[in-house]
Amino acid sequence: MLKISKLLVLAALFDPFGGAAEATGIDAGVSAMLERVQPAVVSIRTISSGIFRNEMLEDPNVRKVLGLPDEVFIVQTGATATGSGVIIDREGGYIITSRHLVADADDVSVTLADGRVFHADRVGEDAPTDLAVIKIDASELAALQWGNSSELKVGEFVAAIGSPFGLAQTATFGIVSGLGRAGLGADEYQDYIQTDAAINPGNSGGPSSTFLAS
The active-site residue out of 100, 104, 109, 177 is 100
The arrangement of strands across the sheet holding 157-162 comes to 192-195, 170-181, 157-162, 208-210
The one-letter code for the residue type at 139 is S
Active site residue 114: no
Active site residue 150: no
φ/ψ of residue 10, rounded to 5? -60, -40
Active site residue 130: yes
- CA-to-CA distance for 149 and 174, rounded, in angstroms? 16
The active-site residue out of 43, 163, 204, 208 is 204
Q: Which residues are catalytic?
A: 100, 130, 204
